[in-house]
Structure 1
Amino acid sequence: MKNLLFIIVIILFSSCNKLVLDNDETDSQTNNFEIFWKDFDEHYALFNVRNIDWNNLYDVYKPQVNDDLSDEAFWGILSNMIEHLDDSHTSLFDGNGHAYRSGATLNNQSGNEISERLIVTNYLDFVTRVPSEDNLAYGKIKNKNIGYIYLGTMDGENPGIIDNIMIELKDYDALIFDIRQNTGGDDRYSARIAKAFSDGKHFIYTVETRNGLHHDDFDEKTIEYTHLNQDTPYLKPVIILTDRATISAGEIFLSHMKAFEHTIQIGDTTAGDFSTVSNMRFLPNAWHYRYSIQKILLPNGQSLDGIGHVPDVYIKNTEADINASMDKVIEKALLYLWDEFQID
């Protein structure tokens, strides 16, 4: 194996430490494995939260590695090792379009359990798309005095646009807020969207960033609260629809929303991947990867990483439901609004 002739410096969010791969770093399968394992060992944030024995995984996978191993076989070893983390924020890339994301199987399957065309055609009187934002649209449920918002990511340019949307939707008796397949993004965006529905300031979680070589080394806790809305928040019933692909900043949005008395979660359990992700990390073979660098805890000290937000009312679509032109999750939300509030 040749030596890699370059220097790469990656600065983690979690510390001022630098990982330097200098010009005499050996590009061999065994050395790549050692760098990969050690980097996780020193910086990954969720070993204790997810009950992972990282040393044991070293003992399992290191004997499978030798310098004659093909890249395909080596890729399989690293992928299998990080799959134990069950953490969709942990990904491996080969630089040629091939990627592996830990714990993503159920998230990916859920893509067949929702259909934008079906929602627009069968359930909405009208739909208005917001051009300045990524995957944000709103409308009205057919033949009902119920508003509808779909938000597919927390990566837009202007989360304050939600205030304009709610001016248009304020006279509806209830709202369905659909964050199924929400891919996450910026936690600040999530918080600002949720502010439009805030009934007050609530302590919702703490954030700690890994900052040392031991698995329990973290910086001081930061306390996060819902934002107080001193204008005219929407305080009528809000149903939030979720699925297994509701992830990261989408789950942070849900953390805000579930603190409010007038909201309820209906659908499937969310992905359970809350952490901020590291900068991209590199190996001498030019493969790159990233991982979770924070832990987020509820006020009672519990982590939802690896668990997700469990819905108040559980229901999910099957692919057969969608093919039969039925969204049972929306149907359940409408039934709930009638049963609990006589809203139709």
Structure 2
Amino acid sequence: MKAFYFLILLLSVSTSGCGDLILGGEESNDPEHNFELLWNDFDQHYALFEVKSLDWDSLYSVYRPMVTARTTDDELWAVITEMLDHLNDEHVKLRIPAHSPEEYVVYSSGSDQNQHALEEFSIELIASDYVEVLYQKYDYFSFGKLYDHNIGYIHLIAMLGVEPSVVYKALDELGEVDAIIVDVRNNIGGADEYSIGFAEGFSDGEHFLYTVQTRNGPAHSDFDQPLKVHSRPKSPKNFQKPVVVLTDEFTVSAGEIFTLNMRSFEQVTHIGDTTAGAHSDVGPARFLPNGWTYEYSIMKYLLPDGSSLEGMGIAPDIYIQNTMQDIGNGEDKVLEYAIEYLENEIN
């Protein structure tokens, strides 16, 4: 099963900023009704059936007979999560209450495929052995200079938490470095507008990046008109020397939007591992009568050639990956390769 389960203290059921939609209300709270509500809601609103070439009706015919009036909550959870596994979409989540009103067990579709990446990166190792940290804003953003190299280092753990203009603070304080490494490994995503804003400090001009469409009707092909998204224009204060962007399989969602922006700039080289392949925005939290909540992708992102990277991710220009053993031995071979690459570019 491609599921990943974990306990969280729930700060917010959804990060979409939209109002909650309550499904069911005073409706019957039986397993069959809960299954029907969830399946039909996905059928009417989930955005990526066509992108993923998925026959949702065929999954209904497989999984609906598994649910009866006598199905327990544990059995219903198993059936629904197995069905949602087929979406292989990290923006698809199902939550059930755990030990307290603030604590939930969370299922995320497809996310066990990239869990190893969490063990193959350590910002603590980088901060202690590779970088003289000059500035840190909570856990969201930090920058500094690499020891023994005239190369700057910027780390973004999420596309939120600090204003994107902080990139210009980093560029000012890093001074006349010869190159910069921007590390978005293990980046958990956030807001696309932040992604575009963070990338602005490196822009060499406006580039057509992708289109966005929101599902707006009952047919799986019903979407609004495509919105074209471009990188920000070039500014005289932007950094135009060599840049490396580092990604891994846990670079997800808005972290991937940042990567697409950066890849459009001539001076940027993308090094590391392929990203998660989960670009869509998430809709408002949905509620079932049994107290479970869930969410899903409501948009599709297409590259200028009409293709989608959902479930595939963004492949780097140069592929290199750490192992858990590397990190345990105090070595970040991805970062070391990026340093060597930039030194060759500089010299």
TM-score by length of 1: 0.91
Work out whether residues 156 and 189 of structure 1, in 8 Å CA contact, stay in contact via their aligned partners in 2. no
Residue from 318, 328, 332 that aligns with 1:327: 332
Q: 1:299 aligns with which of 290, 299, 304?
A: 304
Tell me the distance in 2 between the aligned counterparts of 1:284 and 1:68: 16
Contact 2:140 2:160 in 1 (8 A): no
**Which residue does the alignment assign to 1:109?**
116
Structure 2 CA distance for aligned equivalents of residues 244 and 20 of structure 1? 34
User: How far apart, in 2, do the equivalents of 1:216 and 1:134 lie?
Assistant: 40
Task: Compute the displacement of 1:230 (Å).
Answer: 2.6
Summarize the alignment of residues 233-272 of structure 1 with structure 2, pairs less than 5 Å apart.
233-272=238-277
1:51 CA drift (Å): 1.5
Give 1:231 shift. 3.2
Q: Letter of the aligned partner of 1:216 in structure 2?
A: S
Maintained 8 Å contact 1:134/1:155: no
Residue 106 of structure 1: CA displacement?
Answer: 2.4
Inter-partner Cα distance in structure 1 for 2:153 and 2:277: 25
1:307 and 1:81 mapped to 2: Cα distance? Answer: 20
| CA deviation profile, 1:230-267 (whole Å, cap 9, x unmatched) | 33110111100001110011001111111100101111
Secondary structure at the counterpart of residue 81 of structure 1: helix
Instruction: Tell me the equivalent position of 1:7.
Output: none
Output the amino acid matched with 2:39: W
Give yes or no for contact 2:215–2:299 (8 Å, CA) kept in 1.
Answer: yes
Over the matched positions of the two proteins, sequence identity in percent amounts to: 44
Q: Deviations over 1:82-101 (max 9, x none)?
A: 11111000000012221100
Deviation at 1:19, TM superposition (A): 6.2
Instruction: Tell me how far apart the structure 2 counterparts of residues 285 and 51 of structure 1 sit (CA, whole Å).
Output: 31
CA–CA separation in structure 1 for the residues paired with 2:229 and 2:178: 30
1:170/1:234 contact within 8 Å kept: no
Offset at residue 118 of structure 1 (A): 1.3
Answer yes or no: is the 8 Å Cα contact 2:23–2:289 preserved in 1: no
> Aligned-pair distance for 1:50?
1.1
Q: Give the one of 180, 187, 190 matched to 1:185.
A: 190
Equivalent residue number for residue 25 of structure 2: 22
Specify the alignment match of 1:129 in structure 2. Answer: 135
Rounded to whole Å, the distance in 1 between the matches of 2:163 and 2:139 is 10
Q: Which deviates more from structure 2 when the two are superposed, residues 241-250 or residues 223-232?
A: 223-232
Quick one: which amino acid aligns to residue 101 of structure 1? S
Distance between the aligned counterparts of 1:106 and 1:233, measured in 2? 36
Q: Judge conservation of contact 1:49–1:303 (CA < 8 Å) in 2.
A: yes
- Name stretches of at least 5 consecutive residues in structure 1 with no aligned partner: 1-12
Shift of 1:169: 2.0
- Structure 1 residues 280-295: aligned runs within 5 Å: 280-295=285-300
CA contact (8 A) 1:210 1:218 kept: yes
How far, CA to CA, are the matches of 1:106 and 1:52 in structure 2?
A: 19
Partners of 1:33 and 1:65 in 2: CA distance: 8
Detail structure 1 runs of 4+ shifted over 3 Å in the superposition.
none
Cα separation, 1, equivalents of 2:329 and 2:264? 35
Amino acid at match of 1:21: G
Which stretch shows the higher mean deviation, 151-160 or 245-254? 151-160
Distance across 2 between alignment mates of 1:115 and 1:139: 16
What is the aligned partner in structure 2 of residue 226 from structure 1?
231
The answer as to whether partners of 1:113 and 1:319 remain within 8 angstroms in 2 is yes
* 2:114 alignment partner AA: N
- One-letter amino acid matched to 1:274: H
Q: Output the amino acid matched with 2:272.
A: G
> More deviation in 234-243 or 223-232?
223-232
Extract unaligned runs of 5+ from structure 2. Answer: 1-15, 99-103
The aligned residue for residue 5 of structure 2 is: none
Q: One-letter code of the match for 2:28? A: T
Distance 1:107 1:129 in 2: 29
**Residue aligned with 1:21, SS:** coil
1:100 aligns with 2:107: yes
Q: Tell me the CA shift for residue 170 of structure 1.
A: 4.0
Match of 2:65 among 63, 66, 69: 63
Distance 1:163 1:222 in 2: 28
Q: Deviations over 1:7-55 (max 9, x none)?
A: xxxxxx8x99x765232x1111111111110000010000111121111
Aligned with 1:43 (options 36, 42, 45): 45
The DSSP-based 3-state class of the residue aligned with 2:97 is coil
Greater shift in the superposed pair: 49-58 or 37-46: 49-58
Between the aligned partners of 1:193 and 1:289, the Cα distance in structure 2 is 30
Distance 2:318 2:252 in 1: 18
Task: For 2:149 and 2:139, locate their aligned partners in 1 and report how far apart those are by CA, in whole Å.
Answer: 27
Residue matched to 2:314: 309
- Cα displacement string for residues 269-322 of structure 1 (whole angstroms, at most 9, x for unaligned residues): 000000000100011101010000000011111111111110111111110111
